[in-house]
Structure 1
Amino acid sequence: MTRTVLVTGGSRGIGRAVAERFAADGASVVITGRRAELVEAAAKELGATGVVCDATDPRAVEDLAAGFDTLDVLVNAAGGLGQAQPDPAATELESVLAQWRADLDGNLLSAVLTTTALKSVLAPGGTAVAVGSIGAERRGGSYGAAKAALAAWYAILSAELGPRGVTANVVSPGYIADTDFFRGAMTDAREQALIAETHTKRAGTPRDIAETVFFLASDGARHITGQTLHVNGGAFTTR
């Protein structure tokens, strides 16, 4: 049976890689993003359906959810470093508040709104996955705090969805190359330092994350839920 998969933030980076992996498996994939030109181009290249949707806008998310009668896989990949609107007249505390709100909106509330709107149509045997970050564990600032809250909320979500046979997990990447996460601010020295922190001595790739998400949506992962899976080459270890 063909699975229906929704990937928010699916027009580029990790989200696009996730969408590509499911599309290659024959799934009916829907991707979302805020920029129409990127969504349309990615959807055409992937053979997916593209929907322009700002996941921080409740009305837009409601409209998105109305298009689904059933959903097998929900992947919340929208997010990134928040961009607060610059305000030269803002005080220090107002600037701090704006930055925190931008990160919480983009990385936590976007997933909360999307999942809340769609959880009722998640099919038995389905899965919800969110993309977290190593920043939740260290040096993450307001972005890391938002990702940490995302993981905490997904643990609650797992308990809610589990009786229906639906799993909920977070995949937490370390440094991933070939994305625009750093918006051109990554230096060679910084990149080499991040790679040196890994045990594998290489940067992660969007495909590394996509394959992990794909596994979590497979039959082999039906008893994995309420977890944060760290995919970082050993840069952050757990026991």
Structure 2
Amino acid sequence: MMTSVLVASISSGLIALILAVLLIFSSKIFRVEVDERVAVLTEMLPGANCGGCGFPGCAQFAKALVDDKAPVDGCSVGGADTASKIADYLGKVAPEQKDRTRAYIFCHGHDGIAKSDRVYSGAETCVSAVAAGGNKNCSYGCVGFYDCMNSCDFGAIIKDDKTGMPVIVEDKCVSCSACVKACPQKLIEIHPVSQKIHVYCKSKDKGPVSKKACDRACIGCSICVKNTKEGGIKIDNYLAIIDYEDYSVTDESIAKCPTKAITDERVNSVLNI
């Protein structure tokens, strides 16, 4: 009996010893070298983990910086200061500071402007409302359940109680693109604040159909095209499209827009903020 216990104890000890040796050997074979620069760069970043840089989080962006797979000014939240610190640390030259950007919500179809004879009673999210066919006659417009606002960690989108529309608070917007991804209607885009004139409509319906659904709809009349430098604006699927790469839109471009769909009016102007 004692012999059996002794043998069992020795066997267990040998197995444990063998497993320990294997673990030590495996840890050396499969050890992943961690570049200490990744940790340093991660600390330099604001820690928002918003994904605006194109990577899942700040640590992944830091790794991409070390691997030279991301630009030093790729963090929109950190801005120029963070880009300068990163460049100094990596021994690079920070690129010339870009024009400040912000998000724009390209729909002015609030209550009283956009028509609706539809009743929606599902989950109060934009994704659910759009999947069910929307709550307005225009199938391209904002459904107003604030998925964009709920996605913003910076308080840069708020509800305008007067119109019911989500609006951008320019000074708080860091261009992280979380709202761009959250909007199922693809109404939100990031553009330089210097580009003040935009088409606040995304309807691709024919003019009469769009106008019937919303008083501020673009009707594809081409008046703006005729009053803008050639190529500055084009009509595609009954919708005016601005060429942001060769931005040449002026006050004359929008002066005769019959519905005021293309305008220099910022959405947040209704709040006077």
What is the TM-score when the length of structure 1 is the normalising length?
0.29
**Which protein has the larger Cα radius of gyration, Structure 1 or Structure 2?**
2
Higher strand share: 1
What is the TM-score when the length of structure 2 is the normalising length?
0.26
